[in-house]
Amino acid sequence: MSEAHSNLHRSAWGDWWEGTRRTDIWWTLAWFDIVLRYRRSMLGPLWLTLSMAAMIGGMGPLYSSLFGTELSKFFPHLALGIIFWGFFSSMVTESCNAFIGSSNYLKQGYFPISMFVWRSMARNLIQFAHHIVIYIPVALWAGISLSWSALLFFPAFLLVLVNAQALGLVLGLVCTRFRDVTQIVTSVMQMLMFLTPVFWLPESLPGRAQYILWNPFAQMLDLLRAPLMGGVSPAFNWWGILSWTAVNLVLCSLLFAKYRRRVVYWL
């Protein structure tokens, strides 16, 4: 049996693992995506940091005045909100084109499709690494003192990656088959940005509007932001995200097992 034939008949788990373990391929592709995007630029990827810092620096004093909140409290809240939301949004929207943007590879030979979702995730992780450094001067200026609770950031971030991989496979499959879904996802993410406490404080909500915080993006944002601000996220956020992760993984497993071989015919 030829290698291509055996690969096409590999189990869904084997197909996913084959793409996951090839870090040498998808990480290199992601790195060159960033390099090519900023080719011939003097500052290169540092423009990511500068543009994000300029936006946070401009919005912080303005929104603090609008909401009547002390700047030293609101500024780190806003900075982390914008940084993490940019990470969430780009991770979701770019996963819609994970297979479409890699059609030249998929049409020329066998590649595990999970590899191209990892490529999209790695590209966004590189961008996130350029953005998160902005938090350091903001935290120093605001006088944030971290405790052992800051270590909760790491399991929360691991949950983000698990959900990003599962949702990336789902959206990659669906958007490759139905191209209009990409526009729907983009519009939904724009709407959710205002329904998630990125620019506003959760305690400013009236009691009857607290259901907005059931939004999984709001729960995930709090899991990541609270430890970096010296606090601890409530337990219901952990249970909410764990439930969402379970649903996400089940949906991903079903769609991936059934439709992964059809991607190349949809391109």
What distance in Å separates the CA atoms of residue 200 and residue 214, rounded to the nearest whole number?
Answer: 16
Residues 115 and 22 sit within 8 Å (Cβ to Cβ): yes
Exposure of 113 by Cβ count < 10 A (0-12 exposed, 13-18 middle, 19+ buried)?
A: buried
Residue 113 pLDDT > 60: yes
Residue 5 pLDDT level (bands cut at 50, 70, 90): very low
The predicted pLDDT at position 95 comes to 92
The predicted pLDDT at position 205 comes to 73
The predicted pLDDT at position 86 comes to 92
The predicted pLDDT at position 8 comes to 56
Q: What is the mean pLDDT of the chain?
A: 86
Cα angle 209-212-213, degrees, rounded to a multiple of 5: 115
**Tokens (6 digits) for 6:** 């055996």
The predicted pLDDT at position 9 comes to 62
The predicted pLDDT at position 1 comes to 39
What distance in Å separates the CA atoms of residue 248 and residue 216, rounded to the nearest whole number?
Answer: 12
The predicted pLDDT at position 200 comes to 83
Residue 165 pLDDT level (bands cut at 50, 70, 90): very high
Residue 127 pLDDT > 50: yes
The predicted pLDDT at position 208 comes to 59
Q: What is the pLDDT averaged over residues 23-36?
A: 87
Question: Is 0.85 surpassed by the pTM of this model?
Answer: yes
Residue 40 pLDDT level (bands cut at 50, 70, 90): confident
Q: What is the pLDDT averaged over residues 126-141?
A: 90
Residues 247 and 176 sit within 8 Å (Cβ to Cβ): no
> What's the number of domains the chain is made of?
1
Residues 230 and 146 sit within 8 Å (Cβ to Cβ): yes
The predicted pLDDT at position 33 comes to 85
Domain boundaries, position 111:
3-201+209-266
pLDDT one-digit tens code per residue, 174-183: 999 999 999 9
The predicted pLDDT at position 172 comes to 93
Higher pLDDT, 266 or 38: 266
Q: What is the pLDDT averaged over residues 196-225?
A: 83
Q: What is the pLDDT averaged over residues 222-238?
A: 90
Residue 255 pLDDT > 70: yes
pLDDT one-digit tens code per residue, 186-210: 999 999 998 888 888 887 777 656 7
